[in-house]
Amino acid sequence: MNRSFLIFLFSSFLFMACKSPKPAASGPADKKNLSGIQKTEVLNLFYNANKEKILGNLNNAAELFSEVIRKDAGNHAAMYELANIYAEQKKFTDALFFSKSAYKLDSKNIWYAISLAEIYQKNKKFSEAAQVLEQLVKDNSDRVDFYFEWATALVFADKTSEAIKAYDKLEERIGISREVTIQKSRLYQRMKRDDKAVAELQKFIALNQKDAQAYGMLAEVYQNMGEKQKALDTYNKVLEVDPNNAFIHLSLADFYRTNGEKEKSIGELKLAFNNKELDVETKISILGSYLSLIELHPELKDQAMELCHLLLEAHPSEAHAHAIHGDLLIMDKQLADARNEYREAIRLGAKEFGLVKSILSLDYQLQSWDTLVIESEDAISRFPDQPLVYFFNGVAYMQVKKYNEAIRVLNSGVKLVVDDKNSESDFYASLGTAYHEIKDFVRSDESFEKALQVNPKNSSALNNYAYFLSLRGEKLDKAEAMSKLSIELVPNSGTSEDTYGWIMYKQGKYKEAQTWLEKALSHDSDGSATVLEHYGDVLYKNGDTQKALEYWQKAKKAGDGVSEQLDKKILEKKLPD
């Protein structure tokens, strides 16, 4: 449907958009019972109160307007101003008292009436608001906007029939119009009087036979009534009177989808996406709705991708079209292509941090460490207050073995973390690893202790700290306890099971070590060189020298992560002395 088809009831704030900020009165109210000196004093108080209000000092203004009222009990202008101040401060009960007082003293004042109606509505007194607005309409029958306000208040008061009568009175005044027809049609639908809604729309269409919006609404009503053929005929009438109407294809797509005609539905969506009259924001919004649907209905992924290609063909320079294509590619596990689309979105002007975050995350998942260094450095320059970009940068530097740079960046980033214990703990855990790599074991241990102080259940920190202690052969009981906890927190982790097995090995518990390393191998789908070498070591200790050699050789083939002594183990077919 055309956006203009999607007309809803006017809100209670419609009139506020068009009324001017004209004051209620030019000054204080009748002062006939005051002496000359008293009148002057009241006048000065009023103007000082108004000055404080203009300056934004509402409490001071309220005190001064209250003082005006104490000195001049009939000063309705001060009551009006005080009511509005209380309303702005959300003191709606107090606001209502003074607004009613002002209105009672001068019920013909338009601004008093408008203010009272609004404050009644703030207090959920919609019937009372409607009464005030009804009188306002009687006193100002030429003001179309007051009719809409009156009808809206009646709707909120659950007086739908009376709201329709209010629109009838307006229609008597201005004739049949699209706005009034739409409101009456919606209200009749609310009352389950679809026949009346149809009659209103048909009455309007009889006078406006080329109004696509009215046909579209009529088709919607027919669809709600279950009159499928009438709905389809009316949708087709829209195409007849407005052939370039892109939104009607969206309505037809919804119509066919509701009727279970999937092929016709997607066909209409394609026509809509190919239509240049359909704005790119609407297309992107439609595709965005697919993202959540695909998780429940994976078969929709191909549809969404096809529509996205149409979107990109029509809008190749639209940044957010590339961004949503990236989202769809991630769902399709095309990570490298998704990263390229996010990069293109940024090149075309998208500035959202979420896109940068996605790119860095994909660099990490794709293990593009050199690229992650470059792109996270750029992200730091663009988003210097975002801790996450420092974290990615630090991790990237560690992966390319530039540990001092990693330490510098991680120390800068952790200072930016606010109220996020998990993130803060991860920063310190990463610092612990970086310090370990440069053999600054004191700072390494300090960093891991900070990580676990902030988040005692950081499984990665527990595992890495335990493993580094085992490598040094220090505090093995503490290492064992931390490693055991990391396994409890994240079961079936090959990395954590390898650590625990290696701690058993260091403690001379070779049978237990073999059991845990076999678990690690079963859960290590990547075939870690470290785990393979450890398993070879424990096999040797358990007397299976031939199999130990096989696993040492597998570890050498697996690549990074082996010890400096692996070649010697293979050459001598035994563990070094």
Helix (H, G, I), strand (E, B) or coil at 367: coil
State the burial class of residue 377 (Cβ atoms within 10 Å of its Cβ: 0-12, 13-18, 19+): middle
Spatial CB neighbours of 514, under 8 Å, sequence gap ≥ 6 = 501, 535, 538, 539, 542
The rounded distance, in Å, linking the Cα atoms of 356 and 279 is 26
> Which residue type sits at 411?
N
pLDDT value at 560 more than 80: no
Paired tokens of 383: 């988003």
**Closest C-alpha among 248, 257, 246, 321 to residue 288:** 321
Q: Are residues 462 and 450 in the same domain?
A: no
CB 533 within 8 A of CB 555: yes
Residues 7-26: what's their mean pLDDT? 34
> Which residue type sits at 394?
G
Helix (H, G, I), strand (E, B) or coil at 491: coil
Helix (H, G, I), strand (E, B) or coil at 75: coil
Q: Are residues 517 and 539 in the same domain?
A: yes
Residue 113 lies in a domain: no
Q: Determine phi and psi for 56, rounding to 5 degrees.
A: 90, 5
| Whole-prediction pTM | 0.69
Q: Are residues 448 and 503 in the same domain?
A: no
Q: Are residues 444 and 465 in the same domain?
A: no
CB 535 within 8 A of CB 516: no
Q: Are residues 486 and 391 in the same domain?
A: no
Residue 13 lies in a domain: no
Residue 155 lies in a domain: no
The per-residue pLDDT for 199 is: 94
Q: Are residues 466 and 554 in the same domain?
A: yes
Paired tokens of 230: 């009438």
| Boundary of a domain, candidates 456, 478, 505 | 456
Cα–Cα separations (whole angstroms), residue 460 to 37, 451, 468: 80, 10, 12
Q: Are residues 451 and 479 in the same domain?
A: no
pLDDT in tens, 318-346: 999 999 999 999 999 999 999 999 999 99
How sure is the predictor about 526, in pLDDT bands with cuts at 50, 70 and 90?
A: low
Residue 462 lies in a domain: yes
Paired tokens of 388: 């996450």
pLDDT value at 531 more than 50: yes
pLDDT in tens, 335-390: 999 999 999 999 999 999 999 999 999 999 999 999 999 999 999 999 999 999 99
3-state secondary structure 274-341: HCCCCCHHHHHHHHHHHHHHHHHCHHHHHHHHHHHHHHHHHCCCCHHHHHHHHHHHHHCCCHHHHHHH
Residue 132 lies in a domain: no
| Boundary of a domain, candidates 432, 456, 480 | 456
Neighbours of 2 (CB within 10 A): 18
| Rounded CA Rg of the chain | 37
The rounded distance, in Å, linking the Cα atoms of 555 and 134 is 87
How sure is the predictor about 559, in pLDDT bands with cuts at 50, 70 and 90?
A: confident
| Boundary of a domain, candidates 456, 487, 510 | 456
Neighbours of 275 (CB within 10 A): 17
CB 342 within 8 A of CB 351: no
The rounded distance, in Å, linking the Cα atoms of 41 and 469 is 83
Residue 507 lies in a domain: yes
**Closest C-alpha among 106, 94, 117, 93 to residue 13:** 117
pLDDT in tens, 142-175: 999 999 999 999 999 999 999 999 999 999 999 9
Q: Are residues 479 and 553 in the same domain?
A: yes
Q: Are residues 480 and 566 in the same domain?
A: yes
Q: Are residues 435 and 473 in the same domain?
A: no
Q: Which domain holds residue 520?
A: 457-572
CB 144 within 8 A of CB 174: yes
Residue 34 lies in a domain: no
**Closest C-alpha among 232, 315, 326 to residue 276:** 315
Q: Are residues 402 and 440 in the same domain?
A: yes
Longest dimension (CA), the chain: 117
The per-residue pLDDT for 394 is: 97
Q: Are residues 524 and 426 in the same domain?
A: no
Residue 222 lies in a domain: no
CATH number (domain holding residue 447): 1.25.40.10
The number of distinct structural domains making up the chain is 2
